Amino acid sequence: VYDFPLDGFQKEATAALVRGDSVVVSAPTGSGKTLVGETAIMTALARGQKAIYTTPLKALSNQKLREFQALFGVRRVGLKTGDVDINTADADVVVMTTEILRNMLYPQATGDEGTDPTSAGATIGEFGGVSDGRLDDVGVVVLDEVHYLSDASRGTVWEETIIYCPPRVQLLCLSATVGNPDDLAGWIEEVHCAGASSQRCQTIVSDYRPVPLNWHFSMRPGRMWPGLGPLLNRNGTKLNYELFPFTKEGAREWAAANGGAGLVPHVETTVGQLVAASMLPAVWFIFSRKGCDQAAFYLADCGAKLVTPKEEAQIAAALEEFEKSNPDAMRPEAVIPLLMGIASHHAGLLPGWKGLVENLFQRGLLKVVFATETLAAGVNMPARCSVLSALSKRGDEGPRMLTSNEFMQMCGRAGRRGYDTVGHVVCCQSPFEGCEEAFGLVTAPPENLKSQFSISYGMVLNLLRAGRPLSSVRSIVERSFGNYLGGRARREQVRELRRIREQSDALREQIATGDCGVEPEEWARFIKLDERLKEERRLLKIISRQTDDAMAEMARANVRDALEVLDTVPVARSKVDLTPVAVVEAYDSTGVASAMYPLGEFVGLAADGTWYRFDASRIKAVSENPVLHADQDGGEWTAPPTPTPGSLRWVRASGGLWRAQGNEEAVEAAQQVSIALSSEAINSADDSEADALAFLDEQRARIAATKAELHEMKMFSDMRRAVKKTNRKREKLKKLEERAKKVERRRRRRDARRLARWDVKHGGSDRAEETLRLTPLGECCAKLRGENELWLGVALSSECLEGLDPTQIAGVAGALCCDSNRPTSCDYDPSPALGNALADLEPEMAEVMALQFEAAMSSPVNMSRAVAALVESWASGATWDQVRGDTNLEEGDIARVFRRTSELLAQMPRARELPLATRKAAEQAAQLVLRPPI
């Protein structure tokens, strides 16, 4: 089948599939995981079975359709997305989004392990699956991009799909590199393979990239950096040493030498360096739609023509062909950049235009595409180089750093197998991140998959709708990946706690029985002396602090006030800056100076003739002229030696200070300063100071004696190490016990709350085995898909919709499909009939919100009059240019709202609990909304 040898992980995964096992493959982006999906499909077809291939994106599903049609034949491959159904009745291989497969599996989900839900023979066409098909002839399901399981908004879909999938169907889960693939495989084996005795789930992990990556860093060129250079050292283990001046440690030195000039590179500069290094084509990631468009237009304005005349002609031909079939999807302002080999790609663009950009890039005609991170989600646009303009993005709670998985997903776009021998990744200096952050992401380990499982109305209603008792529904919900990880983590914590306790108990026993090699009496004496030493040291700290305070008070009494000295010594006034003194004096009326300097401020004459201003805490001692000093050994007090003219001779004085005799000017000034106190007063103060110092010396002597006694003991070092080791173990044990208590308390509270809610809702535990029947509203909600199925069912079942025509029904559906995270405005209001219907829905909307608040649920309850007016106008025949100019939404957002509206309208006819007139109007409205360029 293939004209090249398979890599090791591809062979290993294929062998496991042939054996009949489920498989989890974790490998870098661009390493060839799709080939394993192809061999899985071939294995199923060889057995006479069918295969389902799921992707997270419609664009990726469309791409896989084309690839598989080329490989398996057009008639054997079908496609099912929310708005497209191609050849699903006869196809052996059906490509679909993961949500579609989840919806297919709802009526077949079972809470009983080992029971094949397909035995009931339930068709899945009603839920948007393979038309008139049954899952009992499907042999393998491929879940591409299964790391989406960690996605906060959509991860539940992947968990549900794995839980509901029949045990006899093999699962192939293809994931980018993650930190815990074994956890995923273990969970799949527990919840999926348990019903198939011969099936296991194998983990295949590979870090091999057929096209290795080189890492680069880009910033504004300067004398210390050429602009573009290696991020790592030659061994690829550390940051390039030439980038040291731009790290936090070296930044101060660099800023001093360069004046703190900006380091963010210009787009045209970096592109020029990429051209010079033969690193194009490139995907340049910018985490802003507007930023992508601006970069493309700016680069074109700079005259950066990146294509040959022949390539430009091919682009022009593709544009001409595109305009014929998609006139409304043309972007006139983007044509010139496109002809120069430059484009932008983001969710704000129409799907048709994005498809054109993808096609031109895959053909090698576009050289630089500025894209948001959505391009890294799986659309096949491999490049020679990936460029990241920043390493942080704005999240729901403000700016945040990229995760290692997000970073590697974007970097994985670089390196085209069969075209490049090496791929390149360029991290650009941004205003907020630099080379250190880039190095951290490059070397960071992959993140673990985390469960994002959450219970929705649709999930519970569809499980109850299948006729299961409440206990069975509860068991299904409790089989999530999060519960598996939580249970495993708790068990590991208990085991770790047990190990630490055993180690600590053994260590205590060894120490208590004298296992350190000393007699028990000697060990007891050591412990007693050690405790005494700790207490003596604690007392020394207290005494030292008290002595310092007392000496500062004495010093305060022994010197003249600063302002008094300035008044009496003329030379001082010429030497001292009076401003700070005046400022302190002004502040003193508010108590600020007293709070800052409770002992007052002073002016002192330094040995070099400079006057300094200081507070009393800096004064260590006071004595009469001439300044006395003591030698190292604390001998007799003597006068200092005469200094050499023009120099200062420093000597060590008491109290750990250095003093020097001043120059002639300083000596002359010093002679004008009188001593504040008499020699007797100073001697008295010196006596008090001496007493305090003597007390400190006594305490130090006691400590020295205790230390000497300890050191004289035999095996002192061994006993000291044993004590430290025991203390560390005790601290660790204490923390683990506290953690175990918290985990146990959380578990008990969670179980208590869960049981309480269950009993309140169902009148006691006896009803757990009762099978509930859904009301007509419940049946209606179970057949609808959206963010909040309960609100959709309540709104669409409302009597206020009676009498609305198809365009107005389309407006209602659009109002319910709005995106609460993207505020919408429209230049006009909905029609009177539609406006009245929306107003009548507001009390019911408030009731649903109140019920959710009471139940501590947070499913969004959305309704937008602006979106309703926009959709109604479009369904009434408004042109694309008209609606595009009537709202603040970008083209891609408008198209997305219209597609969601069309999907909801297509679901409504299947909900037979809705009024017949509403269902017929919805069927007509779906056709009115789903028209080009949507």
* pLDDT score recorded for residue 172: 96
The larger pLDDT score, comparing residue 585 to residue 770, is at: 770
What tokens were used for 517? 């090699």
Query: Facing residues of 94 across strands?
Result: 52, 78
151/59 same-domain check? yes
Phi and psi torsions of 175, nearest 5°: -135, 150
Asked whether residue 411 is assigned to any structural domain, the reply reads yes
Average pLDDT for 725-749: 64
Q: Determine the number of helices (DSSP H) and then strands (DSSP E) in the chain.
A: 33, 21
479/596 same-domain check? no
At residue 221, the 3 state secondary structure works out as coil
394/420 same-domain check? yes
* pLDDT score recorded for residue 527: 78
Asked whether residue 547 is assigned to any structural domain, the reply reads no
* pLDDT score recorded for residue 869: 94
782/825 same-domain check? yes
634/668 same-domain check? yes
Average pLDDT for 165-175: 92
Residues 6+ apart with CB under 8 A from 687: none
Phi and psi torsions of 489, nearest 5°: -65, -40
253/392 same-domain check? yes
The larger pLDDT score, comparing residue 902 to residue 134, is at: 902
d(C-alpha 381, C-alpha 389), whole Å: 18
Q: Which of 43-47, 300-304, 557-561, 762-766 has the lowest mean pLDDT?
A: 762-766
Asked whether residue 569 is assigned to any structural domain, the reply reads yes
Q: Give the number of other Cβ atoms within 10 Å of residue 243's Cβ.
A: 23
Asked whether residue 433 is assigned to any structural domain, the reply reads yes
b/e code 334-360 from CB counts within 10 Å (16+ = b): beebbbbbbbbbbebbbbbbbbbbbeb
Binning pLDDT at 50, 70 and 90, where does residue 441 land?
Answer: very high
Please identify, among 150, 176, 205, the residue that sits at the C-terminal boundary of a domain: 205
Q: For residue 203, is pLDDT > 70?
A: yes
* pLDDT score recorded for residue 923: 94
Which residue in 435, 448, 376 sits closest to 240, CA to CA? 435
What tokens were used for 639? 């006068």
* pLDDT score recorded for residue 261: 45
143/167 same-domain check? yes
808/892 same-domain check? yes
Asked whether residue 527 is assigned to any structural domain, the reply reads no
What is the enclosing helix (H) or strand (E) of 26? strand 22-26
Q: 281: cis peptide before it, omega within 30°?
A: yes
- Model pLDDT for residues 823-879, shown as the tens digit of each residue: 788 888 999 999 999 999 999 999 999 988 888 787 889 999 999 999 999 999 999
pTM (global) more than 0.85: no
What tokens were used for 417? 């197998």
Average pLDDT, the chain: 78
What is the enclosing helix (H) or strand (E) of 203? strand 201-205
Q: Which amino acid is at 642?
A: T
* pLDDT score recorded for residue 131: 39
- Model pLDDT for residues 372-427, shown as the tens digit of each residue: 987 766 567 778 999 999 999 887 777 889 999 889 989 988 987 778 889 999 99
Assess contact for 806 and 874: CB atoms under 8 A. no
80/184 same-domain check? yes
Asked whether residue 689 is assigned to any structural domain, the reply reads no
At residue 144, the 3 state secondary structure works out as coil
d(C-alpha 286, C-alpha 271), whole Å: 14
Q: Which domain holds residue 318?
A: 293-342+357-366
Ranges 96-110, 418-432, 701-715, most confident: 418-432
The larger pLDDT score, comparing residue 47 to residue 556, is at: 47
The larger pLDDT score, comparing residue 547 to residue 536, is at: 536
d(C-alpha 786, C-alpha 507), whole Å: 59
The larger pLDDT score, comparing residue 109 to residue 276, is at: 276
* pLDDT score recorded for residue 132: 37
* pLDDT score recorded for residue 254: 52
Ranges 90-99, 220-229, 589-598, 602-611, most confident: 90-99
Q: For residue 585, is pLDDT > 50?
A: no
Residues 6+ apart with CB under 8 A from 323: 330
d(C-alpha 160, C-alpha 162), whole Å: 5
19: domain CATH number?
A: 3.40.50.300
- Tell me the CB-side half-sphere exposure of residue 277, using CA atoms within 13 A: 24
Q: What single DSSP character describes residue 844?
A: H
Exposed, middle or buried by CB within 10 Å (0-12, 13-18, 19+), for 238? Answer: exposed
Q: For residue 767, is pLDDT > 80?
A: no
Q: For residue 624, is pLDDT > 60?
A: no
Please identify, among 170, 205, 240, the residue that sits at the C-terminal boundary of a domain: 205
21/105 same-domain check? yes
The string of DSSP codes covering 686-742 is HHHHHHHHHHHHHHHHHHHHHHHHHHTSTTHHHHHHHHHHHHHHHHHHHHHHHHHHH
Percentage of the chain modeled with pLDDT above 90: 37
478/620 same-domain check? no
Q: Which amino acid is at 846?
A: A
* pLDDT score recorded for residue 343: 96
Phi and psi torsions of 707, nearest 5°: -60, -40
Q: For residue 108, is pLDDT > 90?
A: no
Binning pLDDT at 50, 70 and 90, where does residue 184 land?
Answer: very high
Asked whether residue 382 is assigned to any structural domain, the reply reads yes
Binning pLDDT at 50, 70 and 90, where does residue 30 land?
Answer: confident
Assess contact for 922 and 905: CB atoms under 8 A. yes
CA distance readout (Å), 129 to 60, 84, 94, 98:
18, 11, 9, 11
Average pLDDT for 333-358: 93
Instruction: Please count the residues of the chain.
Output: 934
804: domain CATH number?
A: 1.10.3380.30
Asked whether residue 865 is assigned to any structural domain, the reply reads yes
* pLDDT score recorded for residue 739: 66
Ranges 100-109, 204-213, 259-268, most confident: 204-213
Lookup result for tokens 């469960």: 451
58/186 same-domain check? yes
- Model pLDDT for residues 771-797, shown as the tens digit of each residue: 678 889 999 998 998 889 999 999 999
Q: What's the structural domain count of the chain?
A: 6
Q: For residue 642, is pLDDT > 60?
A: no
- Tell me the CB-side half-sphere exposure of residue 685, using CA atoms within 13 A: 21
